Amino acid sequence: MRAVIIGTGPAGISAAETLRRLDPACEVTSLSAEPYPPYSPPAMADHFLTGREETLYWKGVDIAEQLRIDERREAVVSGIDCDNREVVLQDGGRVGYEALIIASGSRLYAPIKGADKPGVLDFKSLKTANELVGKVRRGEASKALIVGAGLIGVELSLLLVELGLKVTVIERESWVMPRILDQETASVVETALMERGVDLRLGVSVDEFFGEPEVTSVRLHSGAVEHADLFVAATGVRPHVEFLAGTPVAVGWGVQVDEYMGTPIKDVYAAGDVAEAADLLSGERYVHAIFPNAVAQGRVAAANALGSKVRYEGAESMNSLKHLGVPVVAIGTIQGADEVVKGGTKGSVRSLYLKDNRIIGVQLALDTSAAGLYRSLMLRRVNVRRYIREIQSPDFSPADSIFTWPSLPHTPLATRATS
Ligand SMILES: Cc1cc2nc3c(=O)[nH]c(=O)nc-3n(C[C@H](O)[C@H](O)[C@H](O)COP(=O)(O)OP(=O)(O)OC[C@H]3O[C@@H](n4cnc5c(N)ncnc54)[C@H](O)[C@@H]3O)c2cc1C
């Protein structure tokens, strides 16, 4: 078997590990647009703060040797020739495959005028993050302006404050991380950011990055102009799918896959931030751009590429904030709830979002000790109506009978072989 993997992010590298584990003789080639060994994007901020490499290069810098794979760096894929079963590279080269795993992840999505101009940086890949932090380290920046207060914008603002910059974050919505957090949980994050010196502007829209040849300011929707010497777009991500244009691989927002992470094209699979996988709870198909999903999907895609029939159970939504100084965890969704149950001790946030008496979302701040229990109840789809008082209690703990009750239906989290 000759397998080719596009991308060596968490999805690509877990696919490579699985291929090697299941088939010691499989020939594996990985193609990465970047010049680095496989790395973990969530570990970038810590790496720039501490210099630590073990968590950044989470599999070891020699993972390709360990796995005996042909790892090609700065090998940018520009197309796929499905008829001839070849991946086409930007430099004109071609790499033949018997099975193909598309794990090209996601890139910055910044639908703002001027966002493509020189001087607008991002913190999405190690390459762009190195450029950004390099500018700070060389003393070329003292005032940063970050557009977007999602998870990446928030994390980056904390890093840049730590690196000694004055930081302004501009967010169009009225609270931070609006797609992940409810307003009450977000307020905990906002307080922590402001205590760290971040100048947070909420409910403010940026219409344009401008300046020639490099961006020197942004124009707000109000007409006001804000100057800085470091501009970052952190307005969202979108799947890396451009190279699939003109191929028969079906692409919506991301690559459309079935429950086996397969595409309608024989022997072509997709995994990670590039794939529109089904949600574990709702079954809805969309891109769930988080690390654990990428790893699990990479494993499933690889097993199936080798001829297994492993079903992906579905993606989870789960986020926590690192480096904030206060723990914040969001699990599931707050959309579509018909009831919100509040609990928690004074000062902390504990909001459980229910639909038809089942937990569909959990928001915790300051005290996140019960996160695992709520997640378990959510994934098991337990009817919690009778236990509302218990689950609201600040003392709700693993010893609670509701958690250990033996007859609870269990839905395995990872994957299940169907044959
Ligand atoms: C700053 C930051 C913090 C994060 N924090 C968290 C967190 O706390 N928890 C969490 O769960 N998730 C977090 N994430 C999200 C998580 O990193 C992603 O969900 C995960 O990396 C997705 O893995 P992936 O392999 O699908 O894609 P990626 O990690 O995006 O890797 C895809 C790789 O494919 C390469 N590629 C793309 N196109 C091509 C091409 N045409 N040719 C060749 N190679 C190509 C890319 O260069 C990239 O190296 C964070 C992300 C960032 C950026």
Same domain membership, residue 294 and residue 256: yes
Ligand 1 atom having least distance to the Cα of 321: 8
Q: Which amino acid is it at 328?
A: V
Q: Is residue 114 part of a domain?
A: no
Domain that residue 260 falls in? 2-107+238-312
Q: Which of 283, 312, 341 corresponds to the end of one domain?
A: 312
Mean pLDDT of 2-11: 98
The pLDDT of residue 346 is 72
Same domain membership, residue 103 and residue 6: yes
Q: How far, in Å, is the centroid of ligand 1 from the Cα of 340?
A: 33
Same domain membership, residue 101 and residue 7: yes
Residue 213, preceding peptide bond in cis (omega within 30° of 0)? yes
Are 277 and 255 within 8 A, CB to CB?
A: no
Q: Is residue 168 part of a domain?
A: yes
Q: What is the pLDDT of residues 246-271, one digit of tens each?
A: 999 999 999 999 999 999 999 999 99
Q: Which of 191, 215, 235 corresponds to the end of one domain?
A: 235
Question: Between vectors from CA 37 to CA 35 and to CA 42, what angle results, nearest 5°?
Answer: 100
Residue 193: band (very low, low, confident or very high) from pLDDT cuts 50, 70, 90: very high
Are 203 and 80 within 8 A, CB to CB?
A: no
The total of structural domains in the chain comes to 3
Q: Which two tokens stand for residue 399?
A: 């010893």
Alpha carbon 343 to its chain's center: 28
Q: What is the pLDDT of residues 21-56, one digit of tens each?
A: 999 999 999 999 999 999 999 999 999 999 999 999
Report the CATH number that the domain containing residue 336 is assigned in CATH.
Answer: 3.30.390.30
Strands of the sheet containing 166-171, edge to edge, are 120-121, 230-233, 143-147, 166-171, 199-202
Ligand 1 atom having least distance to the Cα of 293: 19
The pLDDT of residue 393 is 80
Q: What is the pLDDT of residues 270-296, one digit of tens each?
A: 999 999 999 998 899 999 999 999 999
Q: Which amino acid is it at 94?
A: R
Mutate which of 104, 106, 181 for ligand 1? The one with the most ligand atoms within 8 Å of its CB, which is 104
Q: Whose CA is closest to atom 29 on ligand 1?
A: 9
Same domain membership, residue 130 and residue 92: no
Q: Is residue 340 part of a domain?
A: yes
Ligand 1 atom having least distance to the Cα of 289: 19
The pLDDT of residue 389 is 85
Q: Is residue 358 part of a domain?
A: yes
Q: Is residue 321 part of a domain?
A: no
Q: Is pLDDT of 413 > 80? A: no
| Through-space distance between the first and last CA atoms of the chain, rounded to whole angstroms | 21
Report the CATH number that the domain containing residue 135 is assigned in CATH.
Answer: 3.50.50.60
Q: Which residues line ligand 1 (CB under 6 A)?
A: 6-12, 31-34, 41-42, 44, 76-77, 103-106, 123-125, 152, 155, 240, 243, 272-274, 289-292, 294, 322
Mutate which of 88, 291, 312 for ligand 1? The one with the most ligand atoms within 8 Å of its CB, which is 291
Q: How far, in Å, is the centroid of ligand 1 from the Cα of 259?
A: 21
Q: What is the pLDDT of residues 73-98, one digit of tens each?
A: 999 999 999 999 999 999 999 999 99
Mean pLDDT of 375-389: 91
Residue 399: band (very low, low, confident or very high) from pLDDT cuts 50, 70, 90: low
Mutate which of 126, 235, 240, 269 for ligand 1? The one with the most ligand atoms within 8 Å of its CB, which is 240
Q: What is the pLDDT of residues 329-371, one digit of tens each?
A: 999 999 999 999 998 777 789 999 999 999 999 999 998 988 9
Are 113 and 233 within 8 A, CB to CB?
A: no
Are 359 and 384 within 8 A, CB to CB?
A: yes
Q: How far, in Å, is the centroid of ligand 1 from the Cα of 106?
A: 6
Ligand 1 atom having least distance to the Cα of 76: 42
The C-alpha R_g of the chain, in whole angstroms, comes to: 22
Q: Which of 312, 347, 374 corresponds to the end of one domain?
A: 312
Same domain membership, residue 341 and residue 291: no
Q: How far, in Å, is the centroid of ligand 1 from the Cα of 10?
A: 7
Same domain membership, residue 242 and residue 103: yes
Same domain membership, residue 225 and residue 142: yes
The β-bridge relationship of strands 237-239 and 106-108 is: antiparallel
Mutate which of 74, 273, 316, 375 for ligand 1? The one with the most ligand atoms within 8 Å of its CB, which is 273
Q: Is pLDDT of 416 > 50? A: no
CA-wise closest residue to 136 among 118, 154, 150, 121: 121
The pLDDT of residue 35 is 96
Indicate the average pLDDT of the chain.
93
Are 16 and 29 within 8 A, CB to CB?
A: no
Q: What is the pLDDT of residues 116-132, one digit of tens each?
A: 999 999 999 999 999 99
Residue 412: band (very low, low, confident or very high) from pLDDT cuts 50, 70, 90: very low
Q: Is residue 73 part of a domain?
A: yes
Q: Is residue 44 part of a domain?
A: yes
Q: Is residue 148 part of a domain?
A: yes
Ligand 1 atom having least distance to the Cα of 319: 9
Instruction: Name the one residue in this structure whose structure tokens are 């100048």.
Output: 199
Same domain membership, residue 254 and residue 219: no
Same domain membership, residue 332 and residue 296: no
The whole-angstrom separation of Cα 146 and Cα 153 is 7
Ligand 1 atom having least distance to the Cα of 271: 26
The pLDDT of residue 395 is 74
Beta bridge partners of 169: 146, 200
